[in-house]
Amino acid sequence: MIEGPPGATPGFLVWRLANKWRVAVDRAVAPLGLTHAQYSLVASLHGMQRAGERPSQRRLADHTGLEALYVSKLARALESAGLIERARDPRDPRAVQLALTEQGQAVTRQAIAVVQELLQQLLEPLGGLAASRTRAFTDELTTLLDAPLAPSVPNDESTQGTTP
């Protein structure tokens, strides 16, 4: 078992867990021709399409927490691979709508199954996906994700003369 150093901060542990998860998902979806970031995009798009939505790149960026420019880059690569279609939004010619192709849906369903199995492994120490500890952990993560973060600006007048 890998432990953080004594007195490890919550930020350090979140960073370590995020990296552990990213590496594990990258390895798990690589045989399907995906990276973790691409998986995040197609899995989110899959869920949004199932809910009847054909999101724009901007909407998908907001949903995933990825930068819009990065989503655009990922979408172009996924389009080249035949997994998604990009089309101009008829209501807003500046916006690009995304949809999974038939091949994209098949690959995404496989990837979701692989990642769900990986998620079960990750959450096993908490009792698994359906455990009350996992639900509490999910609630805590949601609380943290909903909290706004505004980094201080070094030259901001309100921080002049203060010690970090």
Q: What is the DSSP string of 10-28?
A: HHHHHHHHHHHHHHHHHHH
Q: At residue 155, does pLDDT exceed 70?
A: no
Query: What pLDDT sits at residue 157?
Result: 58
Cα(164)–Cα(149) distance, rounded to whole angstroms?
17
Of 99-103, 120-124, 148-152, minimum mean pLDDT range:
148-152
pTM of the model: 0.83
Q: Given the structure tokens 């819009």, which residue do they identify?
A: 68
What is the mean pLDDT of the segment spanning 97-126? 97
pLDDT averaged over the chain? 91
Yes or no: say if 81 and 29 are a contact pair by the CB < 8 Å rule: no
Residues facing residue 87 across a β-bridge: 97
* Mean pLDDT lowest among 3-7, 42-46, 89-93, 120-124: 3-7
What pLDDT was estimated at residue 41?
97
